Structure 1
Amino acid sequence: MASRGGNTDGTQGDTPLLFARVLDGKGGGRPIGWDEIQSWQPGPDGAVLWMHLCRTVPGIYEWLQERFAIPEPTAELLTSDATRPRAFREGNALVATLRGINFNPGAEPEDMVSMQVWSDGTRLVTLRRFPLQTPRDVLAAIDKGAGPPDAGAVVTELTEAMVTRMNQSIVDMNDHIDMLEEEDMDDDPEEMLEKIATIRRNCLGLQRHMGPQHVALEAISRDAPPWFEDHDRREIAETIDRLRRYLDDIDVSKESAVVLMDELRTRALASNERATYMLTIVAGIFLPLSFLTGLLGINVGGMPGVENGHAFWWVAGVCGGIGVLLLAIFKKLKWL
């Protein structure tokens, strides 16, 4: 893994490094290259090395085991596509898989992107496959000197930023539902049903990933190693509360979409029932008339009224009278 120029996926040459900083404990940090990372060791000054890597670069699985003595199952978890959110403690290290909203071009809100985390308190490794904005936001704060001072604070800010960015997608879905509620449901019910179905799929997708993430954050707050300080646990607890509120908002959005869909279907069913009812009334009026005209129209000699030439008018008058009588009966029965 020699270090050369930049690559199309943001890595430095053929190395997995996207960026790295050595935190100074005061909110700032200095850049560090891939070659220097190979020999970096924790010092008495309490500096923390944060590396953000691309996990799809060949050799990263073996490098994690050799450089940090990470057990093989954990290294496989950190570099695999099994990205269901989870977190656990392994000795003095914290291991986690988190997911955030995918804001890459062409992605849907439910297409979430994962980030794996490993840290022993002095070294922090975050890994991703697809571009993720959250680590870049934390990096920008560090470069301004206003970032997290240690590994626990970096993990806390990463999780908080990932959860906070979910809020925009939830707000957008709520706005879409409000707009649909204000629209005339009779204009284009098929298009509206399609929009509602999309919102429901987005809600289910977010809920499918945010539910396990809630459990993962609780595991971090509860089982994190001693270097994860009390104020970090409190921050994680606040993030958990925020995530719980977002989950509640998703439930409300999902239920609102169901109510809208039920109302549309009820209106469509009522419209079909009215059409069927009117067809039944029309059939009820014309059925006896059709029977009478069919009976009188049979080709049999001796039918009354044929000889004098007034048969048509007699039949028309009788049919009209029967029609009026049926209408009166239907009105009396309150069928009309």
Structure 2
Amino acid sequence: MSGFAWVVNDGKVQSVGIKQALGQPGELVWVHLTTTDDHAKEWLGGEAQLPPFVIEALTAAETRPRCDAVGDGAVINLRGLSSEAMTASDPLASIRLYAHQDHVFSVTRKPLSALDPVQKQVAAGRILDPGDLISEIAQQITSELDPVVADLGDNLDDCEAQIAAHAAWELRRMVSETRSKAIGYRRFLYPQRLALERLAALPGEWLREDDRLHLNAAADRAARMAEELESIRERAALTHETLTDLRAELIDQRSLIIAVVAMVFLPLTFVTGLLGMNVAGIPFAHKTWAFWGVVGFCIAIAAVITLYFMRRHWFPK
């Protein structure tokens, strides 16, 4: 079990050990654990003396964004970008928090990118209480996700532009990846917006008015990203349908060309097969001009059939 702890007391910021943080007085005591083992449950229930419901929420293997009131505190689960590679179905790392009076306990199973800038804010003395800490984490998460969601929209714009230029074959993979990422992000951003809104509405002295404003701002930003992801998902579906139609149209055009060529050569094959039989009585078999006469006759047939198809507009443009 690894992690860190910060204590803010009378404007003074101090980094301490995890075990030493529990006995420290201050306006903010932040204990963070990075773990996936059962030792975290024992420590949270033993030394930290947290309720069983809180321990289960902080150490659960699978989570989704949520906010639940626990007495005069709250359990909050959020999702953000990770420095590790994530799966397409679960693209965001979770952070589970329990805020109670002047203490905040947080647990992550995967490294969360937003934690480093938040720690810098704590070290600089800009975070003074639990409300400041949680709202800063929420704002850092949404700030990091915003350009990622915007890039998904830009990628889809590029795909649509290339479709207009008929470069459809290599775009199917790009569209599928963009759609898959949008679905994965939206899976967590929509409930995260609801969790932030519920957190901002919770009663409690540890949440000040400016903290609630910051949480509402983060919730609005998450809502906008969720709406953008929904739009991206729908556009990706339409783009995929367009690509499928273009592919079907290309196949139809090529099939038509093959059919026209086959129709041109079908009578020529009949003529050459008929004259190529090894039987007596073939007309003009001993004439010196017979070969060139047959060639000219075949060319004339091919020209007539080709002209017929051109007049009927069978050739694809």
Identify whether the pair has TM-score above 0.5, normalized to the shorter chain: yes
TM-score when normalising by structure 2? 0.85
Superposed CA offset, 1:261-310 (max 9, x none): 44444443333322221111111111122122222322332233335555
Question: Offset at 1:99?
Answer: 0.9
The equivalent of 1:204 in structure 2 is 183
In structure 2, relative to structure 1, the CA distance for the partners of 1:324 and 1:139 (3 Å cut) is closer
The alignment covers a number of residue pairs equal to 314
Q: 1:98 aligned to 2:78?
A: yes
Q: 1:305 aligned to 2:291?
A: no
1:155 to 134, 139, 145: 134
In structure 2, relative to structure 1, the CA distance for the partners of 1:35 and 1:238 (3 Å cut) is closer
Superposed CA offset, 1:208-227 (max 9, x none): 22122123223323445454
Superposed CA offset, 1:85-122 (max 9, x none): 22211222201211101134x55796321111001122
Q: Distance in 1 between matches of 2:213 and 2:22?
A: 34
The equivalent of 2:300 in structure 1 is 321
Q: 1:71 aligned to 2:51?
A: yes
Q: Distance in 2 between matches of 1:69 and 1:325?
A: 94
Q: 1:246 aligned to 2:246?
A: no
Name the SS for the 1:146 alignment partner: coil
**Aligned residues: CA RMSD:** 3.0
1:113 to 81, 85, 93: 93
Q: 1:218 aligned to 2:197?
A: yes
The equivalent of 2:17 in structure 1 is 33
In structure 2, relative to structure 1, the CA distance for the partners of 1:329 and 1:183 (3 Å cut) is closer
The equivalent of 1:8 in structure 2 is none
In structure 2, relative to structure 1, the CA distance for the partners of 1:220 and 1:47 (3 Å cut) is same
TM-score when normalising by structure 1? 0.80
- Percent identical pairs in the alignment equals 26
Gapped regions of structure 1 (runs ≥ 5): 1-14
Name the SS for the 1:96 alignment partner: strand
Moved more, 304-313 or 246-255: 304-313
Q: Distance in 2 between matches of 1:267 and 1:224?
A: 56
Structural mapping, 1:256-295, within 5 Å: 256-295=235-274
In structure 2, relative to structure 1, the CA distance for the partners of 1:117 and 1:35 (3 Å cut) is closer
In structure 2, relative to structure 1, the CA distance for the partners of 1:87 and 1:309 (3 Å cut) is same
Name the SS for the 2:114 alignment partner: helix
Q: Is the 8 A contact 2:4 2:17 kept in 1?
A: no
Q: Distance in 1 between matches of 2:250 and 2:2?
A: 61
Superposed CA offset, 1:56-97 (max 9, x none): 365321222234443324312211321222221122220121
Q: 1:20 aligned to 2:6?
A: yes
The equivalent of 1:135 in structure 2 is 115
Name the SS for the 1:39 alignment partner: coil
Gapped regions of structure 2 (runs ≥ 5): none
Question: Offset at 1:159?
Answer: 1.1
Q: Is the 8 A contact 1:88 1:224 kept in 2?
A: no
